[in-house]
Amino acid sequence: MFQAHLLRRLLESCFMLTSGRNDRMHTVAYVFGLSYYLVLPMTFVPDAWWMSFSRLNLPMDNVAEVPSYVSKYAEAAVIAVEQTQIVGFAIFLLGSVLQFLVHRQLSQLNPTAGAQAEGATPHVYKLPKGGLFEYVSCPHYFAEIIIYSGLLVTQAAKPALHLVMLWVVSNLALAAMETHRWYLKKFEDYPKHRKALIPFII
């Protein structure tokens, strides 16, 4: 699930959310982000897989039977995953769809961002409207929290995922509040009823 999330975000970054050639990212932020997404997937490996294969007693005296033993325990692990991840997958899918729709909406506000470095007229930032933008300033962050909530539900017994969830919510909340303040400062007619991150709450 997490790898599917990363693949979708990669495709969106390459083909949907374009940016100008002059856009830059701080080296520290780049290294941190790269390390985060390289290490984090290891925390999502289901315990059922580890438990199944840790109890795998291969018949080393009869090598021909090894494939059948591996298949047996792999099938048991898959069944265990299916029984515990249906709700989490539904939440994950909901968040993914919402985030995709928000990113598509943002991309339509700036379809020629890549032309800025080639002498084109500087892009004038437009105020996002419609959809979840009617309720919060950063609906893509809100969707990200839903995505991680789905991942957490699938493997709530993993303490590391609770820490990951705390980090994600804290980081996105700070970023959303900063973005919300920027909107209020830049647009005098910015809707006062919009929250920063979570509809009707914050």
What's the whole-model pTM score? 0.76
Higher pLDDT, 90 or 70: 90
pLDDT at 52 over 60: no
Q: Is 38 within a domain? A: yes
Q: Is 61 within a domain? A: no
The gap from C-alpha 24 to its chain's centroid, in whole angstroms, comes to: 22
Q: Is 140 within a domain? A: yes
Q: State how many domains the chain has.
A: 1
For residue 168, the model assigns a pLDDT of 92
pLDDT bin (cut points 50, 70, 90) of residue 115 is: very low
Higher pLDDT, 148 or 79: 148
Q: Is 74 within a domain? A: no
pLDDT at 20 over 60: no
Q: Is 41 within a domain? A: yes
For residue 114, the model assigns a pLDDT of 46
pLDDT at 51 over 70: no
Q: Is 13 within a domain? A: yes
Q: Is 146 within a domain? A: yes
Q: Which residue range is the domain that position 107 belongs to?
A: 2-46+85-117+125-186
CA distance linking residue 85 with residue 2, whole number of Å:
13
Q: Is 55 within a domain? A: no
pLDDT bin (cut points 50, 70, 90) of residue 11 is: confident
CA distance linking residue 22 with residue 20, whole number of Å:
5
Higher pLDDT, 52 or 163: 163
CA distance linking residue 8 with residue 104, whole number of Å:
12
